[in-house]
Amino acid sequence: MEQKREFTHIVDVHTHLSDDLLIKDVGEIIQRAVQQNVYSALVVAESKLDFQPILDLHHRYPEFVLPCLGIHPIQKSGKKDEKGIEIKRSVCPSDYDGVEEWIEKHLDLVGAVGEIGLDFTPRFCPLKEDKENQILIFSKQVQLAERLHLPINVHSRSASKQTIQLLKEIGAHNVLLHAFDGRASTALQGVAYGFYFSIPASVCRDEQLQKLLKVVPLDHLMIETDSPAISPVKGTVNEPANAVISCEYIAQLKNVDIQTVKHMTTTNAMKLFPKLATLPCQMM
């Protein structure tokens, strides 16, 4: 009888390694992650401009990087405010031009469609038309993932109920909801549909996430960082090595040992994202 594999490492299922804050030191960042037993990461896109850099990262670090390509509900406008900060806007249909062709062309490398979803934050999405465009682009990407038999890596902010409901209506099967900001009761609806939830290291300072973590069972949880954002220490640059903080916090809150958390969350990741098994580090 074949013995079940016991996973002792961590998978960061949602990070932005191609971000300007990380890319310049990405080799050292990956090395620090591996030192913390974070052996692989799903690197997600936000716009088409991220697609090639993420694929390039995979070719440079094939043992660590699993590409996820998709269009985020919030996009850069190309403009800056008086403080020099990038102004963001809600996604529009033209942002999706060519996305399906990109993903289909590189299907053998793409581990998931993401980062996709809904973000109804009023300052980014003030108009009814903005919400309609987000729903349109999100729906198209979920349907694409279903057609190509790919999982989805989902963003939901100020739109938790709408996101869960839309996923149910479309009939999405392989779903990860990252850094979910909805109520614990809404998350449990997702659990009932078979969805997974990933917990970032910022859980240590996020009461809403802590409430979610208390009710979502371990067999529906994964580990993420969303680096360089939502660091466990506010105002600092996050990185995949901090995924171990999520593990430690989950172990403490669930009253289980950290090895159980590593094994269960990595088992969940390997189940939802089967192309993780093709990375060299997973075959060791």
Q: Is 23 exposed, middle or buried (0-12, 13-18, 19+ CB in 10 A)?
A: middle
Half-sphere exposure of 127 (CA within 13 A, CB side): 7
The whole-angstrom separation of Cα 59 and Cα 54 is 9
> Cα separations (Å) of 73 from 131, 132, 226?
9, 11, 16
The reply to whether 178 sits in an annotated binding site is: yes
The reply to whether 14 sits in an annotated binding site is: yes
The whole-angstrom separation of Cα 125 and Cα 162 is 14
Q: Tell me the β-bridge partners of 154.
A: 116, 177
- Give the number of other CB atoms < 10 A from CB of residue 223: 28
Number of H helices, E strands in the chain: 10, 10
The reply to whether 149 sits in an annotated binding site is: no
The reply to whether 106 sits in an annotated binding site is: no
Find, among 51, 35, 50, 40, the residue nearest to 13 by Cα.
40
> Do 198 and 179 meet the contact criterion of CB atoms below 8 Å apart?
yes
Question: Sign of the C-alpha dihedral, residues 134, 135, 138, 144?
Answer: negative
Binding residues: 14, 16, 115, 155, 178, 226
Binding residues for a divalent metal cation: 14, 16, 115, 155, 178, 226
